[in-house]
Amino acid sequence: MSGLIDLPIHKLGVLLAKKEISARELVEAYLARIEEVDPLVRAYLTLTREKAMEQAADADARLSSGDGVGPLTGIPLGIKDVICTKSVRTTCASRILENFVPPYDATVMERLHAQGAVMLGKLNMDEFAMGSSTENSAWFPTRNPWDLSRIPGGSSGGSAASVAARTCVASLGSDTGGSIRQPASHCGVVGLKPTYGRVSRFGLVAFASSLDQIGPFTRDVTDCAILLKAIAGHDSRDSTSSPCQVPDFRAFLREGLAGLRVGLPREYFTGGLQPAVEAAVRRAVSHMESQGATVVEVGLPHSRYAVAAYYIVAPAEASSNLSRYDGVKYGYRAKDGKNLLEMYKKTRSEGFGPEVKRRIMLGTYALSAGYYDAYYKKASQVRTLIRQDFARAFDACDVIAGPVAPTTAFRIGEKSGDPLQMYLSDIFTIAANLAGLPALSVPCGFDEEGLPVGLHLMANHFEEGRLLHAAYNVELAVGTERPWPDLSGPHGG
């Protein structure tokens, strides 16, 4: 059954519906694959074998009776360890939540269960989603399946690497400043950050509440449309959840781009961009032109301030959100605290890693008396200017195209000692979060070392359908029959 791990959701769904394979056989094939290659990639933090087999049995019963069958029935998925899963530990890759077992499911998990999807396990990430390389995990770094000496991206590195390594059919991640799109680009898979409010954040452990969104990692654009449809929609338990109707996103997957206006931001094609990345992106845009799209130049003048604004807004919100981890109600508690204040200090000093501490301190400083107006208020004003830039750009175009990251995946350890260089990994993705826009990465080529490159596409609010239409046609031009990483040798890669 080894060929099963090569198939996307939409092809597996046909086989399951025809009863040519069973959900049990499919899950067993993926568990065997995990056992074979995950010791190399290290995408999983927690493997839920027994639960997966129980869910497979439930899926087979549904498929047999025809009741409660959906596009994800029997499909094995991986879940980023920042999404709450009832009775399965959710660590956020942090020592402070090492033994935390949520008593409830996130809304996205409820929606996946309603369709009869199977959860294989929880996936590695940068601690509390703070990072661009998955080196900030408290447990171990995840490795890029294309080259095991390189990072898979972050913070959803386990989610991207597991799809590329074919240790799950698809996965869920979260995106606060590029944490879906950047690892998707580095691992050669499709990754989509929905419009802010499109997918419920209930049960997503908060990093920066005005920026966080859950989204899918998939092997192709069709699967992305299927998984997004399953998790999207209004949720009364999330006050930022939009009542906007959720369309059938697969209906947008049609051939041809006649009438589509593609904007190229002049600010995104400047110094510091790896030549092979720029070449692959421009080649993809040329494919879009050949399919009928019109390319126009647009300006996003305030995007140069996006990284600076983000690293005020996001740490400020993180400082507030992470104040709940104090050793009192749940999570890690330091021993030998002589009084309450000392227990707080020791718990947070021992429980949080260096990057999380760095961002908490940055955020606390930015929110402190005398500095709030100079930092947080100013960053919020810049955020408004960035949003206005996009509004003007979308008067002239329908989608904006550019690179996802300045380079392909860098080597493990290469930037871990230089936080500023690490932060610049998200220079092209952060603005979409600040503006609340939908954005995705679709594979568009490889560099000279065989490392994947993604094309970054952004659209106006709640226009995920338009994004998927454009990405689908890029995929048609580039081809979906591209090779997957070969992990069969003694060292993989």
Residue closest to 53 by CA, chosen among 19, 37, 30, 36: 30
pLDDT digits (tens, 9 = 90+) for 88-145: 999 999 999 999 999 999 999 999 999 999 999 999 999 999 999 999 999 999 999 9
Tokens of residue 369, six digits: 């008396």
Residues in CB range of 450: below 8 A, 6 or more apart: 146, 147
| Residue owning tokens 């972050």 | 154
- Give the full edge-to-edge strand order of the sheet including 452-459: 44-47, 118-123, 76-80, 170-175, 213-218, 190-193, 439-446, 452-459, 399-403, 261-265, 294-298
Residues classed as catalytic: 80, 155, 179
Q: Is 412 in a helix, a strand, or coil?
A: coil
Domains and CATH numbers, the chain: 2-261+459-478 (3.90.1300.10)
What is the reported pLDDT for 205?
Answer: 98
Q: What's the pLDDT tens digit per position in 330-340? A: 899 999 889 99
Mention every residue, 6+ apart, whose C-beta is less than 8 A from residue 42: 124, 140, 141, 142, 143
Helices 275-290 and 464-478 cross at an angle (nearest 10°) of 100
Closest-CA residue to 195 (of 472, 468, 464, 467)? 464
Give the Cα separation of 356 and 256 in Å (integer). 45
What pLDDT shows up at residue 403?
Answer: 98
Question: Where would I find the H helices in 330-370?
Answer: 340-351, 354-367
Per the DSSP assignment, residues forming a β-bridge with 22 are none
Would you say residue 491 has pLDDT above 70?
Answer: no
Q: How far is CA 472 from the centre of its chain?
A: 19
Q: Is the pLDDT of residue 1 over 70?
A: no
Question: Could you tell me which residues are beta bridge partners of residue 399?
Answer: 262, 459
